[in-house]
Amino acid sequence: MPPILVVDNQPDMRIKLEQGLIRVGYPVESASDGSQALDMFKAVKYSMVIADEQSTGGDSLEVINSVKKISPQIPVVIMTSHGTVHHAVEAMQAGACDYILKPFSFEVLERTVKKAIGALWGDRGLRIGSDKDHCQKAAKEIVTRSQKLKGILNQARDIAPSIATVLIQGESGTGKELLAAYVHRHSLHPEAPYVAVNCAALPDTLAESELFGHEKGSFTGAVGRKIGKFELVKKGTLVLDEISEMARPLQAKLLRVLQEKEIDRVGGTHPIPIKARVIAISNVDLKKAVKDGKFREDLYYRINVIPLTLPPLRQRKEDIELLARYFIGKYCRLNHKKNIEIDDTAMDVLLNHVWEGNVRELENTMERAVLIGSGRHISPQNLLLDASENKSEFQDTFSFKAGRTVRDMEKELIFRTLEDVNDNRTQAAELLGISIRTLRNKLREYKEESLS
């Protein structure tokens, strides 16, 4: 594998980076500024570039641009400091694949390098860590070509280094846990623990001690001291999955914890400060749960500091084909099968299916197809999807009960169609069989209605 090019103007930092990377098996060369780096880059082949944002002569974007012009696929990672994290965001937009916030631990550097090199060099890159490790990492990749989802990933990345609470919402199987792990990976402490708790599965009686811990003898059965999840993750990330299912009394306690940034162990005598970053996940609309009186309003506002909402698959149809092929590849590899192709007719079935279970359902379908197919092709029969399901897109959610007006239904159909085509009015009008002018007029009417 070609060497990694390190760019840093501080000799001691450069030596540390070089020695560290060489110790784990990567060949390294270094430059002290951007123009030297570019000269080297033009002359020799490198596997990736790691550049300190301040060493590039003040213009890391130019370095990224020049590198990308010479070899577009070469990963560029930018090292930046806390105060200039917005530069990192610009760098990512210019084509850098990742950034590291200084000061960082060597583990963070190693992990970032491994990820960047792995993405380009695959198995030709060095393998550090166990195979299992490698598989799990690969399984966590978020695959998408949807602009909408890419926008959310950018947003997630931007907010990851803060410690504000994140609320991830989305229908079942849209990748909420995947996104939570993504936020953790880009946080300031990706090396710290990441722990997910399913609030729906916590028995009421044990929930408090699971989260906050307890002291020895604080209740019958409390034979020893127990450290709760909030303390366990240290500076890492605590994911509260299915937060809407949390019992009311516990909601009150959680609110206090998030406000005070300290916990009380059950039976404890003094509060303990916590540093954990909390990510709450919900697949029901939490705002609605508040309206229905099932969820505390004050807690809702406390956790909804940074809301991220994942679009369902029907709003990013462009991902179906990509994901299907990705999952076929994944399950062929896992099952030691040769690469299997998918027939066009089978792909059409996938594109027209109503994916109520979203990406999870698509993944299961492809896994099954890979396992049951005996030949080298996946045909529609291998998908085991009920053809009768492939009817109207809205069939399941549109309610045709008597008591609704035609106008009401029309409005719903228009809004849903728009949602489905990412607000592309031309496309929506075409699908609805009306002119774009009619569509525009109707939308204006609805707007006036809602304002009056």
Ligand X SMILES: Nc1ncnc2c1ncn2[C@@H]1O[C@H](COP(=O)(O)OP(=O)(O)OP(=O)(O)O)[C@@H](O)[C@H]1O
Q: What residues make contact with Mg ion under the rule CB under 5 A? A: 177
- How far CA 294 is from CA of 287, 305, 360, 392, in Å, comes to 10, 20, 27, 33
**Distances in Å between the alpha carbon of 283 and those of 288, 316, 353, 419?**
12, 18, 21, 19
DSSP state of 387: G
In DSSP terms, which residues pair with 281 in a beta bridge?
A: 168
Tell me the C-alpha distance between 88 and 99, whole Å.
6
177, 318, 367, 430: which one binds ligand X (CB under 6 A):
177
- Least distance CB 334 / ligand X (angstroms): 12
How far apart are CB 246 and Mg ion at their closest, in Å? 15
CB-nearer residue toward ligand X: 263 or 366: 366
Q: Look at residue 118 and give the partner it binds from ligand X, Mg ion, none, a contact being a CB closer than 5 to 8 Å depending on partner kind.
A: none
Q: Are 213 and 226 in contact (CB under 8 A)?
A: yes
Q: Which CB, 360 or 368, lies closer to Mg ion? A: 360
The nearest distance, CB 177 to Mg ion, in angstroms, is: 4
Pick between residue 52 and residue 363 the one whose CB is nearest to ligand X. 363
Q: Is the peptide bond before 311 cis (omega within 30 degrees of 0)?
A: no
Q: Is 195 in the site for ligand X (CB under 6 A)?
A: no
Q: Nearest distance from residue 301's CB to ligand X, in Å?
A: 23
**Is there binding between residue 367 and ligand X (CB under 6 A)?**
no
Q: How far is the CB of 311 from Mg ion (least distance, A)?
A: 16
Whose Cβ is closer to ligand X: residue 91's or residue 308's? 308
Secondary structure E strands in 264-382: 272-273, 277-282, 306-309, 341-342, 377-378
Stretch that binds ligand X, among 357-365, 379-387, 392-400, 438-446 (CB under 6 A): 357-365
Q: By CB under 6 A, which span of 24-32, 99-107, 157-165, 356-364 interacts with ligand X?
A: 356-364
Which residue, 3 or 170, is less far from ligand X as judged by CB? 170
Give min distance, CB of 176 to Mg ion, in A: 5
- Facing residues of 52 across strands? 79
287 binds, among ligand X, Mg ion, none (CB under 5 to 8 A by kind): none
- Which of the stretches 52-60, 167-175, 251-259, 397-405 binds ligand X when contact is defined by CB under 6 A? 167-175
Angle ∠(272,278,279) on CA atoms, nearest 5:
165
The binder of ligand X chosen from 47, 60, 169, 174 (CB under 6 A): 174
Minimum distance of ligand X from residue 346's CB (angstroms): 19
330 binds, among ligand X, Mg ion, none (CB under 5 to 8 A by kind): none
Strands 237-241 and 277-282, sheet pairing: parallel
Verify binding: residue 110, ligand X, rule CB under 6 A. no
Number of residues in contact with ligand X, rule: CB under 6 A?
15
Closest CA to 303 of 286, 280, 331: 280
Where in 125-144 is the site for ligand X (CB under 6 A)?
A: 142-144
Tell the smallest beta-carbon distance from residue 372 to ligand X (Å). 19
Burial of 60 (C-beta count, 10 Å sphere; 0-12/13-18/19+):
buried
At a CB cut-off of 8 Å and minimum separation 6, what does 184 contact?
160, 190, 194, 236, 237, 277, 279
Token pair, residue 175, equals 């990748």
Judged by beta carbon distances under 5 to 8 A according to partner kind, the member of ligand X, Mg ion, none in contact with residue 332 is none
Beta bridge partners of 169: 282, 309
Separation CA 382–CA 203 (nearest Å): 40
Instruction: Compute the least distance from the CB of residue 423 to ligand X, in Å.
Output: 21
Which CB, 54 or 309, lies closer to Mg ion?
309
In the window 230-289, what residues touch ligand X (CB under 6 A)?
283
Closest to Mg ion by CB, 13 vs 153, is: 153
146 binds ligand X (CB under 6 A): no
| Structural element, H or E, at residue 5 | strand 4-7
- Which amino acid is located at 345 in the chain? T
* Closer residue to Mg ion, CB minimum distance, 112 or 174: 174
Give the nearer residue to Mg ion in terms of CB position, either 60 or 144.
144
Taking the C-alpha atoms of residue 163 and residue 170, their distance in angstroms, rounded to an integer, is 22
Residue 60 interacts with ligand X (CB under 6 A): yes or no: no
Distance (Å, rounded) from C-alpha 166 to C-alpha 171? 17
Q: Which residues bind ligand X (CB under 6 A)?
A: 142-144, 170, 172-178, 283, 359-360, 363
